[in-house]
Structure 1
Amino acid sequence: MIDLYYRPTANGLKVGILVEELGIEHRLVPVNIREGAQQAEAFQRISANGRIPAIVDQARGLSLFESGAVLNYLGGALVPDVGTAEYWQVQQWLFWQVGHVTPYLSQLQVFRERAPEPIPFALEMLQREAERLYVVLEGALQAHEYAAGHHSVADIAIFPWIQPARQGIELARYPAVAAWRERIKARPAVQRAYARGREVAAQEKSLVLE
């Protein structure tokens, strides 16, 4: 049994999708990050960085934080055998998501939605980087249906962050990304994950699949 410490933000939804895709027996443990629950000492014993998602594998007595590590740990058939070319293809896109997509798109959303007043320099810099990231993904998806060539944890990691309306992105400029997004969105496991997310915190903006 896996305990999934969770909020249906883009990062939380990654692991929510994965457990639905693979049918992993799990228990959702909501962590209300909007009210500071991530700062609780009990949660920080599980997630040293004080961020969701995190898991506890009860069978192994193992706790893990950081979504990339959790996806690799739970990924099963969606993570190719270690050391193969396919494995490294998946890893490069997973690291790309963790190292570039989350930091820049999350900051863009904060500056667009929460800044008391517009900060042109920050908005312009982050918007340019967001558009560059969409171009990178577009190039990969023009060559293959999925980021690493086949459906994997890389797609699961990237998908919840592709929120064009929140990011001021015209998705029509990226037709391969748009088509990939529709393929992922239509997967039953993704639909279940988002439905469960709405049960936990329907107000989370990342749950909107416009």
Structure 2
Amino acid sequence: MITLYTWSTPNGRKISIALEEMGLPYGVKAIDIGADDQFTPDFLALNPNHKIPVLVDGDTVVNESGAILLYLAEKTGQFAPKRDDPEYWEMMRWLMWQMGGQGPMLGQAHHFLKFNPGKAPYAEERFRVEAKRLYGILDGHLKGRETILSGLSICEFAIWPWVSRFEFQQIDLDDFPNVRDWYLRLADRPAFQRGYSVPADVGPIPKL
């Protein structure tokens, strides 16, 4: 049985959404990062970087959300092109864009715009502008497309949870209509709704 150590954050929801879409049975261990559960000895034994999510599958322990998504895609043969498929590197490009750009930069936007407003005007403006730039990149790619690749993939599982906090980032999704429509289509999927509520139901998926 897979065990997912997670909390109600975009990075945690990447994996619960993937597990739900893949139809894999799993158990959940809630790691309350507000209560510093990520610093307990038991959790640090799984991930010395003290970050969620962590996935344990038998004797295999995987941390870093992108690595977990790739592990699950390979395990199940779902939601990722094979190595000899031309789309494989397109998948990797968007997954790394999320891991290296969208996630970290939007996380900084959350820090300054949502949780510490008024303390660092320069940082607020910097990450507000960067958030809009990143949304613009995704919006341009999604023009005329239903999904990031030719079908639903781990790219959606990685990118969508960060878009679901558009309010934290002071983003008006109507300014990015292709992202808006993509986001809302995925928000209607039952597996996304179930995964969004792991490890606890904190309310419905934000809509416009």
TM class by smaller structure: over 0.9
Identify the residue that residue 126 of structure 1 maps to in structure 2.
Answer: 127
| Kept in 1: contact 2:6–2:199 (CA 8 A) | no
* Change in 2 beyond 3 A, CA 1:134/1:31: same
1:117 positional shift? 3.2
Identify the residue that residue 176 of structure 2 maps to in structure 1.
Answer: 174
1:140 aligns with 2:141: yes
**CA–CA separation in structure 2 for the residues paired with 1:49 and 1:23:** 29
| Kept in 1: contact 2:17–2:157 (CA 8 A) | yes
Q: Deviations over 1:5-37 (max 9, x none)?
A: 010101000001000001111100111111101
- Give the alignment partner of residue 190 of structure 2, picking from 188, 191, 196: 188
Query: Between Structure 1 and Structure 2, which shows a larger proportion of helix residues?
Result: 1
1:116 positional shift? 6.4
**CA–CA separation in structure 2 for the residues paired with 1:184 and 1:67:** 19
Identify the residue that residue 63 of structure 1 maps to in structure 2.
Answer: 61
- Give the alignment partner of residue 206 of structure 2, picking from 203, 206, 209: 209
**CA–CA separation in structure 1 for the residues paired with 2:109 and 2:126:** 9
Identify the residue that residue 109 of structure 2 maps to in structure 1.
Answer: 108
| Kept in 2: contact 1:6–1:30 (CA 8 A) | yes
Q: Deviations over 1:139-176 (max 9, x none)?
A: 11004211123210001100010122211112111110
TM-score, L = length of structure 2 = 0.92
TM-score, L = length of structure 1 = 0.91
Identify the residue that residue 150 of structure 1 maps to in structure 2.
Answer: 151
**Structure 2: gaps spanning 5 or more residues:** none
**CA–CA separation in structure 2 for the residues paired with 1:3 and 1:183:** 28
| Kept in 1: contact 2:5–2:52 (CA 8 A) | yes
Identify the residue that residue 23 of structure 1 maps to in structure 2.
Answer: 23
Alignment: residue pair count: 203
**CA–CA separation in structure 2 for the residues paired with 1:53 and 1:144:** 30
Identify the residue that residue 10 of structure 1 maps to in structure 2.
Answer: 10
- AA aligned to 2:156 is D
**Structure 1: gaps spanning 5 or more residues:** none
SS in 2 for 1:167: coil
| Kept in 2: contact 1:93–1:148 (CA 8 A) | no
| Kept in 2: contact 1:112–1:118 (CA 8 A) | no
**CA–CA separation in structure 2 for the residues paired with 1:108 and 1:116:** 10
